[in-house]
Amino acid sequence: MKDTATGKTVLLTIRGLTIEGRSDETWSEIVKGVDITLHKGEVLGLIGESGAGKSTIGLAAMGFARDGCRISGGTIDFDGIDLRAATKDERRALRGKRIAYVAQSAAASFNPAHRLMDQYCEAPVQHGVMSRAEAERDAVELYRRMQLPNPDEIGFRYPHQVSGGQLQRAMTAMAMSCRPDLIIFDEPTTALDVTTQIEVLSAIRDIVAQFDTAAIYITHDLAVVAQMADRIKVLLKGEEVEEADTRTMLATPREDYTKSLWAVRSYARPVQPPVTDAVPVVSVRGVTAGYGAVDILKNINFDIHRRRTVAVVGESGSGKSTAARVITGLLTPRQGEVLFDGEPLPSDYRRRSRDQLRQAQMIYQMADTALNPKLRLRELIGRPAQMYLGLQGKALSERIRGLLDLIELEPDAYIDRLPSELSGGQKQRIGIARALAAEPQFIICDEVTSALDQLVAEGILKLLDRLQSEFELAYMFITHDLATVKSIADEVVVMQNGRVVEQGPKDEMFQPPHDPYTELLLSSVPEMDPDWLTRLLQERRNKAEA
Amino acid sequence: MSDIWIMIAKRLALGALTLLVISVIIFSATELLPGDLAQAVLGQSATPETVAAFRRELGLDLPAYQRYVNWLFGALQGDFGTSLANKRPIADLISLRLGNTLFLAVYAAFIAVPLSLTLGILAALFRNTVFDRAANAMALTSISFPEFFVAYILIFFLAQSGLFPSMARVDPSTGFTEALYHTFLPALTLTLVVTAHMMRMTRAAIINLLASPYIEMARLKGMKPMRVIWRHAVPNALAPIITVVALNLAYLITGVVVVEVVFVYPGLGQLMVDSVSKRDFPVVQAVALIFAAAYVLLNLLADVLSTLSNPRLVHRK
Amino acid sequence: MHTLITLFWVAVAIALAMGAGWLFLAAARRLTRGGVARALRGAPVSAGFGMLVILIYVLVALFAHLIAPFGERQVVGAQFLPWDGTYLLGTDNLGRDMLTRLIYGARNTVGIAFATTVLAFSVGAMLGLLAATVGGWLDQVLSRIVDILMAIPSLIFSLLLLTIFGTSVVTLILVIATIDSTRVFRLARSVAQNIVVMDYIEAARLRGEGLWRLITREILPNALAPLVAEFGLRFCFVFLMISALSFLGVGIQPPTADWGSMVRDNAALITFGDVTPLLPAGAIALLTVAVNFVVDWMLHRASGLKE
């Protein structure tokens, strides 16, 4: 089938797709009439926030619906085959052979009981594409093209013996094993650190281009999709917002929703006046700490001043969360100490006074697990005020209402709700209110926006900013996301393998020269420019040659 | 590879230690007797002289730790002392009955394990169908039945008409097939009770497994349903299934007590119950030790086997 | 033919049970309001049947002295009389009225099992929650003790202990409760351990909350659903165990009316085709089935709410 307008062959046509999901024994539509046209060799980016139905649509392109979901309407035509009318066996014959899937978590999607090679060879051998010996030779070749270390040997390892970034590339190789016409990539780099993400992205892009494979690339990250896709489709709550080729979409989005997604990255807080108070609120002095015999933190030093936000940045395993545990007193350091207002804090929280506990509060990444699901907001927020400030009865009630006002939730409507009756962003606001209720000087924000959609995260950052100037708070902002650092930090502490590799004011940090690791970290953050990845790889190659 | 053997060696050592502590508990239980064993056996009316003579006969004049060591070393060599009730060596009482009990347990296991694994896996594969619901309701019902209820129902329906004997009489001269026939009802009772448990646990383990992303991946690779099960689910199901089977075999060993009493089957369980009512402490101790040892060993075996079937543990980084 | 007739009656019984369960649920939904009514709306017929049966047992146990036609230990006639107008279910091996014994059995057997479960549960759950919350050496010590006690099969262990301490009701309750509390400890500890790692517990600790408030206000409300379901399962287990011990002659002692020993005392009748001795066994089975049905529904609800 030829598309008359472009002259390219159409591979996949989806029209009026509706998918229903079951909750509490009733079915409701989660995908509401989506159309997709995908040509051979083309990469379509599906982008949207959580609940947009991206993954569900991706699986439907394989004629597959998860348990608790069902395809209820529309047509799915793959290269002339009607996937909804096809028999189970016909659909199965396509999967793995002509349409392949790359899952978000490779660690969970590889079978722990079999070697990578066995799992690689399964599809080509079972679908009768190659013999086992051919498949093994082919695997080594693809592992090499995916830039995996030791391509001759890596296939004979078990999944748990291979790192996350490598597994994700091995899974892409496995998807390629039958040279499919179409691959569905379902957030393949979301679980990876930024520096690892680059390698996986470039490997995926190269291999898809080499074999001229069509792909549907699902992600919530705009900058990533800008590198990978030829065209982008924006989804919201199971419906299409708009679709255009990548450059058009990035340059001139038509719809307000798309514009608002694009605009998020532009938020930045105003530059703060220089520090005037001599004594920092919190001072971490020469802290070395760890679990068992292993040092996670090695001689860490940094200060946090009043009305200042210090962003502690690092990838997983850098020790940034451990630093927070030392400050809060959950982990006793082997060496060094934490000063509060110039006074040393007891290293164990159980030996800190009630007032010392009150002064340092914490906001957690997962609001779901940070709020006791069985307590109502009244008690969740009220407890610190009751405990630390001795508020009772009417005064307490007034205080709770005041706090709800502060976080922009209507007191009458919310005060007697349970956390389960709130949205993700609202829960995070309750976490903030609980911290404020103690009237602290210092708050640790541990990845507070990373579990939230971008628009919601934006609201939280603005709120935190406003509260900081209102109550002269000092923030320690733990994050792996440099975009968040750019928008909220005054000072930055970069951590790697338990050491501080660089620290200083934000403006200096984002200007060269950098420490090599900071450089790597900064340069690895995807930008909204479709040529960014190509340029970056070229630069790195040049540097390596020079 | 050596890591895993160290791990297994540790488990075995822990198992041995557990058995040792259990033997201490079982032995010292009689030390908790209000008054003294000899007095308890002979009653309040016994003269001090007879009590003293009896104490010497039992070795009660020795300190407790010495008696324990003697008892334990005796037990390790198969000598459990003599019965208070009939003065016969306990080893003689036990040896035949131990064989009978094992025969019954193995008989029941041979029917129950394949049956319940098949039913459990089928229920998991066809979950929420009529078959699954019916199997579940029946399993739940038979879990709720006391063993003697199941036993008497079977007697009521199958023994009254003379189809099977209601008393499981066996002796060393009974032939194998005849023994199978005579012990059919007790074995069936045990099977019914254990199958229900094992089926439910297998079903839960398999359903848990089928929800894993790698099973979805196998389906998305276009693998046939049977291949998904055999190649992707079963190797990972081994560990949970081994645990389920061992747990239920261990249960079988103790469940045998009631069943033996109902069918008047000359096994260890019946001996224990008889000895309890006669307050024949040495016999109770000996049988308790044997049951506990079997229970610990089965659990230990399950532990080791499921460790060996876990690829994450077998192939270390 | 015989089998067909039996099957027919089994089918009738199941149909009647389902009908009764449905009616009970319908009535209960009308009579309750708020959260209870909302919970009942999703309840399956089996759970309705279970609740109805439990309610009937409780009523019979409470008002046994009013319902029973004769005295608990009263010898009213000859031994093993057949069913007739006066002795609705005949008489037992000593000439006591079977129906009366059955009714008092509800009070004795169920009462003792319930008391044992409550004791085992309070001790086991409290220690389990404490061990998970405090951690450290307290957890280590308690867990090792429980590991050892659980390594001895429970029926064997209770036979051993009952031989030594004798078979009064008090020792029976204490022995079974001790053995059973180890199982409760295991479950309570593992449930609490999943809760203790939550950020809200860390937040409460960092806030400076005391141990008591931590357990009662932060952990217990979140552990309640699995613990309540476990209470049902433990009750079934204890109830079956006490019945088995009584059946073996080392549990509840005569002349107290008890279902386990009633089966044992009258078992001889079964071989003559008389179902009477099956009645107390059936009474045991019916209650455990009922509790299990309710627990199954509760567990299903708890796992459904998590998703």
Residues of C within 8 A of B273 (CB-CB) are 159, 248-250
Q: Of the ranges A215-219, A505-509, B222-226, C158-162, which one carries the lowest mean pLDDT score?
A: A505-509
Q: Cβ neighbours of residue A112 under 8 Å, at least 6 residues apart?
A: A158, A159, A160, B214, B236, B311, B312
Bridge-based pairing of strands A231-236 and A239-245 is: antiparallel
A511 has pLDDT over 90? no
Report the residue of chain C nearest B32, measured CA to CA: C164
**CB-based contact B262:B152 (threshold 8 Å):** yes
**pLDDT tens column, B197-214:** 889 888 888 888 888 899
The predicted pLDDT at position A264 comes to 59
The C-alpha torsion from A463 through A464 and A470 to A471, rounded to 10°, is 140
A43-47 β-sheet, strand order: A99-102, A182-186, A214-219, A43-47, A231-236, A239-245
More confident residue, B175 or A102: A102
* Nearest to A305, CA basis, from A283, A330, A337: A283
**Is C156's Cβ below 8 Å from some Cβ in B?**
yes
**Domains of chain B by range and CATH?**
2-76 (no CATH), 90-314 (1.10.3720.10)
Bridge-based pairing of strands A26-39 and A10-23 is: antiparallel
What residues does each domain of chain A span?
Answer: 282-511
Average pLDDT, chain A: 88
Q: Of the ranges A346-355, A416-425, A446-455, B108-117, which one carries the lowest mean pLDDT score?
A: A446-455
Burial readout A98-124 (b: 16 or more C-beta within 10 A, e: otherwise): bbbbbbbbbbbbbbbbbbbbbbbbbbb
C-alpha B169/C-alpha A69 separation (Å) is 58
Q: Cβ neighbours of residue B313 under 8 Å, at least 6 residues apart?
A: B4, B7, B307
**pLDDT tens column, A41-88:** 899 999 988 778 888 999 999 999 888 888 998 999 998 889 899 999
Task: State whether residue A254 is helix, strand or coil.
Answer: coil
- Structure-token pair, residue C295: 């627990």
The predicted pLDDT at position C307 comes to 32
Residues of B within 8 A of A126 (CB-CB) are 221-224, 227
Q: How many other C-beta atoms can be found within 10 angstroms of the C-beta atom of residue A15?
A: 14
Distance of CA C128 to the CA centre of its chain: 21
Nearest to A101 among B212, B220, B312 (CB): B220
C-alpha A324/C-alpha A150 separation (Å) is 38
C-alpha A101/C-alpha A215 separation (Å) is 10
* Rounded CA Rg of chain A: 26
Q: Which CATH superfamily is domain A282-511 in?
A: P-loop containing nucleotide triphosphate hydrolases (3.40.50.300)
Task: State whether residue A21 is helix, strand or coil.
Answer: strand
* Tokens 């790697």, residue located: A496
C199/A369 Cβ within 8 A? yes
- This prediction's pTM: 0.85
A459 has pLDDT over 90? no
User: Residue A4: pLDDT band by 50, 70, 90 thresholds?
Assistant: low
Task: State whether residue A452 is helix, strand or coil.
Answer: coil
Task: State whether residue A209 is helix, strand or coil.
Answer: helix
A127/B236 Cβ within 8 A? no
Contact partners for chain B, using 3 or more CB pairs closer than 8 A, are A, C
B311/A158 Cβ within 8 A? yes
Sign of the alpha-carbon dihedral angle for C268, C271, C272, C278: positive
* Tokens 């992303």, residue located: B213
**pLDDT tens column, A216-236:** 999 988 888 989 999 999 999
Alpha helices in C34-168 (DSSP H): 34-41, 45-62, 64-67, 98-105, 111-134, 136-150, 154-165
Residues of B near A (Cβ–Cβ under 8 Å) read 211-214, 216-224, 227, 231-232, 235-236, 311-312, 315, 317
Q: Give per-10-residue mean pLDDT for chain C (307 aa).
A: 77 86 84 75 84 92 86 79 78 84 90 94 94 91 91 88 85 93 93 91 93 93 88 91 90 86 86 84 91 86 54
Nearest to C292 among B32, B140, B148 (CB): B140
B76 has pLDDT over 80? yes
Residues of B within 8 A of A59 (CB-CB) are 220
Q: Of the ranges A150-159, A269-278, B105-114, C55-64, which one carries the lowest mean pLDDT score?
A: A269-278
Q: Of the ranges A7-21, A307-321, A503-517, which one carries the lowest mean pLDDT score?
A: A503-517
The predicted pLDDT at position B28 comes to 85
What ipTM did this prediction achieve? 0.85
Q: Reduced to 3 DSSP states, what percent helix, strand and coil does chain B have, rounded to the nearest 5? A: 80, 0, 20
Nearest to C206 among A349, A373, A375 (CB): A349
Q: Of the ranges A127-141, A245-259, B50-64, which one carries the lowest mean pLDDT score?
A: B50-64
B279/C163 Cβ within 8 A? yes
DSSP H helix total and E strand total for chain B: 15, 0
Q: Taking each helix axis from N to C terminus, what angle separates A454-471 and A256-263, rounded to the nearest 10 degrees?
A: 50
**Domains of chain C by range and CATH?**
1-42 (no CATH), 101-303 (1.10.3720.10)
H helix or E strand, kind and range, residue A138:
helix A132-145
B32/C160 Cβ within 8 A? no
Q: Of the ranges A22-31, A283-292, B142-151, C111-120, which one carries the lowest mean pLDDT score?
A: A22-31
- How many interchain CB pairs under 8 A, A with C? 43
C-alpha B122/C-alpha B126 separation (Å) is 6
Selected for mutation to probe chain C from B19, B22, B148 (highest C CB count within 10 Å) is B148
User: Residue B126: pLDDT band by 50, 70, 90 thresholds?
Assistant: confident
The predicted pLDDT at position C138 comes to 93
Which percentage of chain A shows pLDDT scores above 70? 96
A344 has pLDDT over 60? yes
